[in-house]
């Protein structure tokens, strides 16, 4: 907002969630056909009927009319790799071969001057163009990669969680640190960036295969010293990965126990993939409050397996959803949920549109422990928003001619939607991205 405009209001069809549709049904969401999202100093002041709220605005308020488009809280991505933007769509390998053949080759480039800055700019441009305003981000092993990412995110005022990868074995020499250097570099980055503006730090041991016991112990020490930081890593993604992890840590009861032994399994732990889980591992997640992160496009592309969301829910395990670029194949959380629907269908599970849209807004916010800040339009929340044209393509506009209610319209959006549906993205009430796509009927 400009210095002379204290209040901005976005007008359109408002949709947000106050609870999980799985538990609360239709009471979980708020929908206003002609709504107004009132923003003051970057925060939601009010959200409701335009007719009632327009008369309460001061004379100098700016009203941006997005009718007939849908306005939702900005999307949230719970697991994504900034260094892998040029790894997406790398052919024909499963996890470990894919890492060695493609990912580690590209990640070494982050040590080159200016490369991390270039990728950070592209990465945030792409997220915002897809309607994503918050993400849990892996940088590379190089501390300057996290520095570059946080600098660019801070410039844009986006709320991001990120960390420097810790990796001291089973990787190219140019991509390894040590237990002590990773501890020291991470601690320095936490001091500089955690809680600065909207930036949050995640302690980031890549996974058990690339960290020695000494490094996992260092990561656990960081977690104990900085209990308000997130922890992010990978677990139970691929059968070969699991077997190798068990070889490296034979004293552990299972893969989850590896992390638990080093103090890395807790309520702020974001555990990427969590596909091939043993019953005791699910129980450990539930008891610790750890988050299982579902990455459908990546799991399909790398042939890793199918995530069992219903089983996680039955056992009380928190679930978040993510793109996992670059194993994943789209930056769009809409496209991600379309693939999630198919993964669940293969297991006899359902994913209604309201549940899908809850997952990528309030659901992910709650899983990340940030639902008091983002993920809804309740007063006082940070005013991150995405404006969506549900009929952005000819195929979607054609299909919408036959929908009978909001649920059907939203299912078309979830099933066929992607970044082309994003008309505009707002960060703390400021326009951060606007679409030039001119499809439709």
Sketch the domain layout of the chain as residue ranges: 7-74+376-434, 75-367
Using CA atoms, how far apart are residues 324 and 335, in angstroms rounded to an integer? 12
- For the chain, how long is the longest CA-to-CA vector? 69
Around Cβ 370, how many Cβ atoms within 10 Å? Answer: 19
Burial class (CB in 10 A: 0-12, 13-18, 19+), 352: middle
CATH number for the domain whose boundaries are 75-367:
3.20.20.140
| Beta carbons of 215 and 166 less than 8 angstroms apart | yes
Using CA atoms, how far apart are residues 355 and 360, in angstroms rounded to an integer? 9
DSSP 392: -
Identify which of 386, 385, 375, 393 has the alpha carbon closest to the alpha carbon of residue 441: 393
Provide the residue-wise pLDDT of the chain in tens; the chain has 441 residues.
544 458 999 999 999 999 999 999 989 999 999 999 999 999 999 999 999 999 999 999 999 999 999 999 999 999 999 999 999 999 988 998 989 999 999 999 999 999 999 999 999 999 999 999 999 999 999 999 999 999 999 999 999 999 999 999 999 999 999 999 999 999 999 999 999 999 999 999 999 999 999 999 999 999 999 999 999 999 999 999 999 999 999 999 999 999 999 999 999 999 999 999 999 999 999 999 999 999 999 999 999 999 999 999 999 999 999 999 999 999 999 999 999 999 999 999 999 999 999 999 999 999 999 999 999 999 999 999 999 999 999 999 999 999 999 999 999 999 999 999 999 999 999 999 998 644 333
For 154, the token pair is: 């801070």
Using CA atoms, how far apart are residues 215 and 221, in angstroms rounded to an integer? 10
CATH number for the domain whose boundaries are 7-74+376-434:
2.30.40.10
Sheet harboring 422-427: ordered strands across?
Answer: 43-49, 29-40, 7-17, 62-73, 385-388, 422-427, 430-434
Task: Indicate the pTM of the whole model.
Answer: 0.96
Q: Do domains 7-74+376-434 and 75-367 have the same CATH topology?
A: no
């Amino acid at each position: 907002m400009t210095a002379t405009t204290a209040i901005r209001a976005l007008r359109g069809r408002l949709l947000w969630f106050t609870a999980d549709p799985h538990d609360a049904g239709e009471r979980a969401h708020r929908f206003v056909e002609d709504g107004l999202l009132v923003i003051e100093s970057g925060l939601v002041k009010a959200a409701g009927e335009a007719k009632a709220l327009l008369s309460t605005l001061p004379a100098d308020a700016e009203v941006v009319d997005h009718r007939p488009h849908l306005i939702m809280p900005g999307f949230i991505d719970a697991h994504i790799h900034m260094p892998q933007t040029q790894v997406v769509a790398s052919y024909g390998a499963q996890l470990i071969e894919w890492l060695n053949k493609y990912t580690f080759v590209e990640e070494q480039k982050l040590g080159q001057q200016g490369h991390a800055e270039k990728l950070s700019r592209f990465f945030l441009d792409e997220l915002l163009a897809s309607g994503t305003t918050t993400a849990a981000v892996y940088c590379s092993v190089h501390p300057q990669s996290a520095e570059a990412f946080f600098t660019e995110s801070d410039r844009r005022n986006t709320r991001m969680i990120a960390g420097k990868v810790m990796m001291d074995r089973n990787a190219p020499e140019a991509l390894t640190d040590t237990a002590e250097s990773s501890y020291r570099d991470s601690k320095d980055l936490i001091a500089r960036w955690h809680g600065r503006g909207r930036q949050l730090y995640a302690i980031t041991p890549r996974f058990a295969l690339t960290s020695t016991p000494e490094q996992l112990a260092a990561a656990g020490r960081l977690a104990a010293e900085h209990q308000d930081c997130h922890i992010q890593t990978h677990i139970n993604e691929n059968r070969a990965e699991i077997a190798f992890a068990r070889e490296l840590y034979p004293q552990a009861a299972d893969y989850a126990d590896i992390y638990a032994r080093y103090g890395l399994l807790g309520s702020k732990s974001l555990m990427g993939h969590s596909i091939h889980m043993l019953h005791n591992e699910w129980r450990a997640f539930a008891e610790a409050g750890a988050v299982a992160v579902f990455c459908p496009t990546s799991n399909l592309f790398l042939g890793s397996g199918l995530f069992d969301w219903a089983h996680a829910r039955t056992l009380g395990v928190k679930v978040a959803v993510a793109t996992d670029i670059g194993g994943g194949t789209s930056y769009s959380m809409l496209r991600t949920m379309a693939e999630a629907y198919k993964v669940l269908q293969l297991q006899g599970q359902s994913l209604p549109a309201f549940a899908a849209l809850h997952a990528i807004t309030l659901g992910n916010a709650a899983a990340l422990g940030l639902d008091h800040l983002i993920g809804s339009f309740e007063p006082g929340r940070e005013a991150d928003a995405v404006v969506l044209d549900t009929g952005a393509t000819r195929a979607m506009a054609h299909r919408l001619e036959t929908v009978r209610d909001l649920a059907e319209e939203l299912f078309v959006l979830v099933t066929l939607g992607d970044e082309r549906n994003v008309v505009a993205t707002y960060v703390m009430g400021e326009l951060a991205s606007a679409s030039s796509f001119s499809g439709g009927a």
